[in-house]
C-alpha cells in the first residue's frame, strides 16, 4: 500500500511540476510542493493508523483562549 501511495504522488509530481517550472511559476511551485508534502505525510500517517488531531480542535482552542 505504501508503494501505491508513493507511486501516486510521484505521478502527480511528474505531471504537474515540469509545467510549473516551464511556465516559471516559482511561488506556486513552492506552495504546491508544501501542500503536496503535507498530503504525502498525512497519507503515510493514515496508512499506519496514527491518530491525527483535527485542525478544528486547534482552532477551537485558540478561539477559546481569545474569547
Question: pTM of the prediction?
Answer: 0.77
Mean pLDDT, rounded, for 23-52: 95
Grid cell at residue 67: 474569547
Domain ranges of the chain: 2-66
Grid cell at residue 23: 511556465
If one compares 1 and 23, the residue with the highest pLDDT of the two is 23
Give the total residue count for the chain. 67
pLDDT digits 0-9 by tens, 38-65: 999 999 999 999 998 888 998 999 999 9
**Does the pLDDT value for residue 22 go beyond 90?**
yes
DSSP per-residue string spanning 1-67: -HHHHHHHHHHHHHHHHHHHHHTT-HHHHHHHHHHHHHHHHHHHHHHTT-----HHHHHHHHHHHH-
Say what percent of the chain tops pLDDT 70. 100
Grid cell at residue 58: 486547534
Amino acid at each position: 500500500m505504501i508503494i501505491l501511495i508513493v507511486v501516486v504522488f510521484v505521478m502527480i509530481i511528474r505531471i504537474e511540476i515540469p509545467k510549473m517550472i516551464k511556465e516559471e511559476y516559482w511561488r506556486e511551485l513552492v506552495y504546491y510542493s508544501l501542500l503536496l508534502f503535507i498530503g504525502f505525510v498525512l497519507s503515510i500517517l493514515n496508512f499506519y493508523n496514527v491518530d491525527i488531531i483535527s485542525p478544528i480542535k486547534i482552532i477551537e482552542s485558540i478561539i477559546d483562549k481569545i474569547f
